[in-house]
């Protein structure tokens, strides 16, 4: 007899070390305890290369975890996908990139807007640096970065390090006739990168 299969995702529930900081172990979970004791089960990794992220040091999140479970296989996601397209040159061969460069070389400025960190959840600063170098290589004279400081996927005060790193690269690229600079900045939460309240006017206020 055919029976239905139900996929239930419990965000934040995982197998811990059983110590006092193991919230699932400390909690009262009679149903989960019964299932583990009486039903066949196994454990899946929810971070790093197991879910298609660049390294095993990269933490997972609901998005990549849901994607991995939904497709039933490991495939490159997020930062790893972008990194591979940069390394292979596919990004720079795309029509979108070509149009951006052509527009910038026709008297316009090229603008980059994004999260400045190496958290590898929503961004990696090395991707921005790679695109800045490529734009310079292709003859773009004016590039302006509109940076969103992280403090969520990376330590709270780490923005100072990322800004310093970016400024060093911009200084290097500011050869004769070039203007590469940080043009604006702000935080990520509740405004430009709000995804919890789904409040588009707030997001728009940030990027404008």
Distance of CA 144 to the CA centre of its chain: 21
Find the catalytic residue in 62, 88, 94, 184.
62
Annotated active-site residue 85? The verdict is no
Higher pLDDT, 196 or 84: 84
Query: Distance between CA atoms of 60 and 188, rounded to whole angstroms?
Result: 19
What confidence score (pLDDT) does residue 180 get? 98
Instruction: Record the tokens describing residue 9, joined without a space.
Output: 């995702």
DSSP letter for each residue of 13-43: -----SSTT-HHHHS--HHHHHHHHHS----
Give the chain's largest Cα–Cα span.
76
- Model confidence pLDDT, tens digit, residues 73-126: 888 877 888 999 999 999 999 999 999 999 999 989 999 998 899 887 788 999
What confidence score (pLDDT) does residue 69 get? 87
pTM of the model: 0.76
Is the predicted pLDDT of residue 195 greater than 70, yes or no?
no
Query: pLDDT exceeding 70 applies to what percent of the chain?
Result: 96
Q: What is the mean pLDDT of the chain?
A: 88
**Do the beta carbons of residue 206 and residue 186 sit within 8 Å?**
yes
- Name the pLDDT band for 38 (thresholds 50, 70, 90): very high
First-residue to last-residue Cα distance in the chain: 58
Is the predicted pLDDT of residue 1 greater than 80, yes or no?
no
Kindly report which listed range (26-30, 42-46, 119-123) carries the lowest average pLDDT score. 119-123
Domain 78-207 has CATH 3.40.1450.10: yes
What is the residue extent of each domain of the chain? 1-75, 78-207
């Amino acid at each position: 007899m055919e029976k239905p299969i139900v996929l239930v995702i419990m965000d934040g529930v995982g197998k811990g070390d059983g110590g006092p900081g193991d919230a699932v172990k400390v909690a009262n979970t009679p149903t989960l305890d019964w299932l583990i004791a009486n039903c066949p089960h196994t454990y899946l990794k929810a971070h790093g290369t197991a879910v298609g992220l660049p390294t095993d040091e990269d933490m997972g999140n609901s998005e990549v975890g849901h994607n991995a479970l939904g497709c039933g296989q490991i495939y490159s996601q997020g930062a790893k996908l972008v990194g591979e397209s940069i390394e292979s040159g596919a990004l720079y061969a795309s029509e979108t990139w070509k149009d951006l460069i052509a527009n910038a070389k026709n008297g316009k400025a090229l603008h980059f807007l994004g999260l400045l960190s190496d958290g590898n959840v929503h961004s990696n600063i090395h991707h921005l640096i790679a695109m800045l170098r490529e734009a310079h290589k292709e003859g773009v004279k004016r590039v302006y970065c509109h940076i969103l400081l992280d403090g969520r996927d990376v330590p709270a005060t780490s923005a100072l390090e990322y800004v310093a790193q970016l400024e060093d690269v911009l200084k290097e690229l500011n050869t004769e006739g070039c203007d590469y600079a940080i043009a604006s900045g702000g935080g990520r939460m509740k405004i430009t990168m709000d995804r919890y309240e789904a409040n588009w006017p707030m997001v728009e206020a940030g990027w404008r």
